[in-house]
Structure 1
Amino acid sequence: MKTFSESRLVAKMLLEINAINFNVENPFSLSSGFLSPSYIDCRKIISYPKVRTKITELMIEKIDREIGSEVIKHIIGGETAGIPFASLVAEKLQLPLSYVRKTTKKHGKNKLIEGEIFSQKECLLIEDLMTDGKSKIDFLNKIRDHNIICNYGMVVFNYDIFPGTEKRLKENKIEIHYLACWEDVYNEILEDSAFDTITTKQIKSFIDDPIKWSNERRYEY
């Protein structure tokens, strides 16, 4: 669900703004619980106007091409990293915007969804990235519990390496569209010879079997 040129461009931009950090010696802990030699911080995108604008344009092009902008009636951002991207897309498409919380507020109206709730309208869930899809399903269930139709999601970056992710998404009847994945980043790294051989090999090892890579380091560290 991506084209070569746009996906490599996104990977290149992420590397250029140092949104992808590497540390083989002291692995990062992902929200999914796995250890990784890299941390991808898509939040940095919003601090770079040209990159931010291009990412927004690519998201909208992808919506038009793969979903159909006429299908989407409502944009919902995932708390918190998905909110700025959802805001940018909603503004460009002139669509209603809301956001879904991870947990209810402890004060006020105890809402899970902030903004207007458009029942029986097709929404697009927007987040910054996806590892194994579990947090997307959690957001999806919260949205559907409010009688909102949600069959589509979009992220800037999809790890696209964890087993069971596609099955999980299919079982929950949601399509996740994305701009770039680890394959794109790895190919960009190889082309630019951006890192030393040891780091590059560790990244390839992680991509080939992230669970094995994580388990080995979890034992070690």
Structure 2
Amino acid sequence: SGIISPIYCDNRKILSYPKVRTFIRQEFAKLITAEFGAIDVIAGVATGAIAHGVLVAQDLGLPFVYVRSSKKEHGLSNQIEGVVESGQSVVVVEDLVSTGKSSLDAVKALRDTGCNVKGMVAIFTYDLETAKENFKKENCPLFTLTNYNALINYAHDKNFIRESDLNSLIQWREDPEKWGK
């Protein structure tokens, strides 16, 4: 997104912890079933959400594809890898949403092939107004397992951050473009 953030959530590390990875997979499966019902395909956004997407697709017994940020320059020049057909219903899995631009680029690529993208699930969102507006504009429901406010409040409650840090983190959330300037 290019936005300077005081916190970076490296969701790739989740893959190194089987219990956490299993929890994320199970919660994604429950969330997808509850919010979207029956679907045909799970799509992961490259690269951070590929593994999470594969895990949830396996759990739900569904095909999996992944979507690159752009078409490959060589080989088959695919932006979407795997088998997905026009008319199929798809839920996109993402690891993290900041502004939503790259996430929604994946949604657009799938819709351009004729897929019915029902929405997106993500592990984490910064919950920025820009992202909310972008998802609304693209008519793409977004559901996440957690968000920025939950993270900073938990960190504060567990004394990982001081009160002054919490105030600074709240200020960032209110105006990320001007924070730190």
Note the alpha carbon deviations across 1:113-158, whole angstroms, 9 max, x for none.
1111221010011110100111122111111111111121110001
> Equivalents in 1 of 2:2, 2:84: separation in Å?
32
By how many angstroms is 1:188 displaced?
Answer: 0.4
Unaligned runs of 5+ in 2: none
- Any residues of structure 2 matched to 1:117-128 within 5 Å, and which? 117-128=84-95
By how many angstroms is 1:209 displaced?
Answer: 2.1
The partner residue of 1:130 within 92, 97, 101 is 97
What is aligned with 1:189? Answer: 155
- Any residues of structure 2 matched to 1:74-153 within 5 Å, and which? 74-153=41-120
What is aligned with 1:178? Answer: 144
The partner residue of 2:16 within 19, 39, 47 is 47
Bigger RCO (CA 8 Å, 6+ sep): 1
Note the alpha carbon deviations across 1:166-199, whole angstroms, 9 max, x for none.
2221221111110000110111012111123443
Query: Is residue 207 from structure 1 mapped to residue 180 from structure 2 by the alignment?
Result: no
What is aligned with 1:29? Answer: none
> Equivalents in 2 of 1:205, 1:57: separation in Å?
33
The percent identity for this pair of structures is 33
Query: Is residue 67 from structure 1 mapped to residue 33 from structure 2 by the alignment?
Result: no
Q: Which runs of 4+ in 1 moved over 4 A?
A: none
Unaligned runs of 5+ in 1: 1-31, 217-221
The partner residue of 2:7 within 30, 38, 41 is 38
Query: Secondary structure of the residue that 2:96 maps to in structure 1?
Result: strand
Letter in 1 for 2:140: I
By how many angstroms is 1:163 displaced?
Answer: 2.3
Contact 2:41–2:84 (CA under 8 A) maintained in structure 1: no
By how many angstroms is 1:43 displaced?
Answer: 0.6
What is aligned with 1:163? Answer: 129
* Superposed CA RMSD: 1.3
